[in-house]
A = this chain, B = another copy of it.
Amino acid sequence: MTTLKDYLERNADRMDKVINRYFGSAYSDLFKASAHLLHAGGKRLRPAVVILAADAVKKGSSDDLIPAALALELTHNFTLIHDDIMDGDVTRRGVPTVHTVWSEPIAILAGDVLYAKAFEFICLSNAGDLEKIRAVKMLARTCTEICEGQGMDIAFEAREDVSEAEYLEMVSKKTGVLYGASAAIGGILAGANPVQADALYQFGVNSGMAFQIQDDLIDLYASSEESGKDRASDIREGKQTLIAIRAREKGLDLAPYRKDLSDTEIDELVTFLEGAGVIDEVRATAIERAGVAKEALALLPDTEEKRLLGEIVDFFIDRSF
């Protein structure tokens, strides 16, 4: 029985090979900028979801879906490049961000190139033309929603009164829908019927939301060595995470923590939030979403791939960095 870890490693190797084939020779500086983050690694989780969903619908149907699976990774990377400009972030995946190595204009273009490549690659399979059109439409609608999610995230920075419903909508759009599209597109290209495709979409969206909520918790618990970013940076920046929203609803004031914090101060804050029940509640919300995601899989026949999709959700909420 394949473990998820083995499966993901094999999948990442396979995707890395394809990435090298398509993006290995830097025939222009712009192309090199486009491929910069792609070459910096990553778990290739979205392509894995595309492939697993396709095989969960029809075993063996993923054989020619590697470029289409890569399309979802390209979409993810284009949003990372553009988000890094918007957020002024200087490192990502352990390497300097595209706009810091090149420039903001080149980074905008580099993201735009990957955006185009995503739509080119999504069409490269032996799936039926109607199925490809459905995949293109879903990818397009997904990109619009990701932009809306990032727009909400930016707007939240100027607000102190973000509700849980607003937060969940933002997370659904910013992170959920691309996992939803990954699962549904894999299914659609493998010939899923509309009910199966919708179930896969719901699986993906809820998985992605669980992933993001877990990310909020990791920010508080993981050391900077583990997570690759400063511990408690969300709290220090006053970000409207689910932790901050739940704390506010309980009348707890996190404003005093909006400053540089020592590890001891962060530990005190964690104890404070745990004591108030905030952490348990946030954790419960992540688990709830993971549960919805796994329930959505019930519609599919029991296969190795369905089991691995379920394990991906478990991994999303069990990981500590």
Contacts and interface: CB of A to CB of B under 8 A. Distances in A.
A85 interface: yes
B108 A82 contact: yes
A151 interface: yes
A121 to B, nearest CB: 9
Interface stretch (A16-24, A137-145, A235-243): A137-145
Contact of A112 (B82, B117, B132): B82
A129 interface: yes
Interface residues of A, number: 39
B115 A86 contact: no
Interface in A115-163: 115-117, 119-120, 123, 128-130, 132-133, 136-137, 139-144, 147-148, 150-151, 154-155
A109 B150 contact: yes
A112 B143 contact: yes
A30 B133 CA distance: 26
Contact of A144 (B116, B128, B130): B116
A29 interface: yes
Contacts of A154: 105-106
Interface in A93-112: 104-106, 108-109, 111-112
A28 interface: yes
B109 A123 contact: no
Contact of A147 (B104, B113, B148): B113
Given A85-B108, A106-B151, A141 B116 contact: yes
A151 B82 contact: no
Residue of A28, A115, A132 contacting most chain B CB atoms (<10 Å)? A115
A133 B143 CA distance: 18
A188 B236 CA distance: 55
Nearest to A86: B105
A144 B109 contact: no
Contact of A140 (B28, B30, B120, B148): B120
Interface of A: 28-30, 82, 85-86, 104-106, 108-109, 111-113, 115-117, 119-120, 123, 128-130, 132-133, 136-137, 139-144, 147-148, 150-151, 154-155
Given A86-B108, A119-B140, 5 more contacts: A29-B151, A85-B108, A119-B139, A123-B140, A129-B130
25 contacts: A29-B151, A30-B148, A82-B109, A82-B112, A85-B105, A85-B108, A86-B104, A86-B105, A105-B154, A109-B147, A109-B150, A111-B112, A112-B147, A113-B143, A113-B148, A115-B143, A116-B142, A117-B144, A119-B119, A119-B139, A119-B140, A119-B143, A123-B137, A129-B129, A129-B133
